[in-house]
A and B are shown apart, each in its own frame.
Chain A
């Protein structure tokens, strides 16, 4: 390639590069810098707050902050239940679709993607009202079968949010797994059938190993999303502030530290910590799941 052309090619990426510096690199650098300071009340508190360089104190504080670490533990535990469940349902549905003619599969695929088309905030509003004992139909339906459930009770809030996330996410994950399934060479099935393998055996021994990559990917995306969960608990907090407190999830704590407590440096330190935890979790998950292949 001619030299001048190379530079013209680079020029096409300049608007993005400039924007990336201002909207990604600078903010991250700024957050990292801010996180090294602390607001200190000077004298009797009359002179207002002053900033003081405090090194890694904010990070140490964050790592020993029981509310923050508790919120991470809460989200991780929840992820360990919700994500495998959602992926299992998505996988089974994708296998079901794969067994149909492509015309029938298309119809079901569109229907199952309907929840994914609905904005997260709207989805949460709809489910919160479905759960509501005054407005929603789920409480009377429970009464009919003798269940006395309260979807906003402390022990039920996570299952309630979990159902909402599962409902919202099944279609998306199913489409990804299904499109991976379409890549399995069909001759493999014929060969297996001639060898006397049952359909379920084919699914277990050929199809599922083949879509492992798609499962790892959907799992990874779900973990990233789950550690950053904010919208759903924020809307639940509107309805049951006593159950869903303002330190329910890591991002809720960060938001509160920044905008309600006004402790921006601490919020910055916590978001850097969250980014590190996110990176470690993704790496760990990737390592664990790709090791199984060997």
Chain B
């Protein structure tokens, strides 16, 4: 923005030297108008930031309160430090099932996404760098499946899984994670951007087999793309709700989300109030995701933007 960075001194000099600044003729001084506008813009963004952060701030405060403080103290400020008691409660309530749910969430999101990413990278590579009959059909299926409502897939999947005895086992969560059309789409886009045809040709002339090329050249060059695909799949699985609700019955296989949903329903169900437990648990369930997303910021941001290209 060259117009606003120009100093007033420079403008004055320009005026003195006899060359009238072009902008002065057309309206008010753009520099001053820019400053007022800038203040307005900053105010808008600060308000939006407060709106974004306020619930998280409140959650952090609430996690430090006991049941009495939660109901009676000012919601916007601390009252007594009970964070350790709350954590103790969360991890011991119902025989420490919260830890089990955390481990489950890590298992489904971690292992499921890893397998899904590997399959997606192979598929994306195949689609982007080979011309085989039926390639168009496969790609059309990938893009077309973005529109399929979750209920249309999940309910019959539940019936099929129950027939082969997968319902209520970790496999019911892990198997669907292996096939992720959006990951395939991303992998194809990344392959197109990073793997040149010439490189593959050179490797072939050197006598490398196709599998060897994939595992020792393509996968290595796709670390960034692969990390993005993995991260987005991980977040997706960690956040999943409808699938686990449908295919998992017993508490011991639940995810964090299902567990928190169940705890938050206790108030209506049986009159037991576990609100402080739910809130502390909710805060805890954000932490692994927040750490991972901060550590891999550049990956998921490019993923979010790429998501827009589909």
Contact = CB atoms under 8 A, between A and B. Distances in A.
Contact of B27 (A15, A100, A196): A196
Given A28-B156, A31-B152, A275-B149, A23 B175 contact: yes
Contact of A15 (B119, B150, B286): B119
A177 B60 CA distance: 31
B152 A28 contact: yes
Contact of B22 (A111, A175, A194, A274): A194
A149 interface: no
Interface in B65-102: 70-71, 74-76
Interface string B25-56: 01100100110011001001100110111011
Contacts of A199: 33-34, 37
How big is chain B's contact interface, by range?
35 or more
B26 A196 contact: yes
B220 interface: no
Contacts of B222: none
B155 A23 contact: no
B71 A135 contact: yes
A142 interface: no
Nearest to A109: B301
Contact of A254 (B23, B132, B151, B307): B151
Nearest to A272: B152
Contacts of B155: 31, 254, 258, 264, 267-268, 271
Interface of B: 1-3, 22-23, 26-27, 30, 33-34, 37-38, 41, 44-45, 48-49, 51-53, 55-56, 58-59, 62, 70-71, 74-76, 119-120, 122-123, 125-127, 129-135, 138, 141, 145, 147-153, 155-160, 175-176, 178-179, 181, 184, 204, 210, 214, 238-239, 241-242, 246, 257, 260-261, 264-265, 267-268, 275, 278-279, 282, 285-286, 289-290, 293, 297, 301, 304-305, 307-308
A285 interface: no
A96 B41 contact: yes
A172 B306 CA distance: 12
A78 interface: no
A118 B62 contact: no
Given A23-B175, A255-B246, 14 more contacts: A7-B132, A8-B130, A15-B122, A24-B148, A114-B53, A117-B289, A122-B260, A122-B282, A125-B260, A167-B51, A228-B150, A238-B264, A251-B150, A267-B155
Given A121-B260, A176-B308, A199-B37, A227 B179 contact: no
A5 interface: yes
B179 A16 contact: yes
A62 interface: no
18 contacts: A6-B133, A10-B134, A12-B122, A27-B160, A99-B37, A115-B55, A117-B286, A122-B257, A122-B286, A125-B282, A126-B55, A196-B27, A199-B34, A238-B264, A238-B268, A267-B151, A271-B155, A278-B147
A10 B130 contact: yes
Contacts of A176: 304-305, 307-308
B24 to A, nearest CB: 11
B80 to A, nearest CB: 16
A55 interface: no
A16 B76 contact: no
Contacts of B278: 125, 129
A228 B268 contact: no
B123 A12 contact: yes
Contacts of A130: 55, 58
A214 B307 CA distance: 11
A10 B234 CA distance: 27
A286 B26 CA distance: 40
Given A9-B126, A12-B214, A129-B279, A120 B153 contact: no
A1 B153 contact: no
B122 A13 contact: yes
Contacts of A16: 119-120, 122-123, 138, 179, 184
Interface in A96-119: 96-97, 99-100, 108, 110-112, 114-115, 117-119
B75 A136 contact: yes
Contacts of A70: none
A84 interface: no
A59 interface: no
A290 B153 CA distance: 30
A119 B184 contact: no
Contacts of A137: 58, 74-76
Given A23-B175, A24-B148, A234 B27 contact: no
A65 to B, nearest CB: 15
Contacts of B148: 24, 28, 275
B52 A9 contact: no
Contacts of B145: 20, 24
Nearest to A231: B241
Contacts of A10: 126, 130, 132-135
B179 A241 contact: no
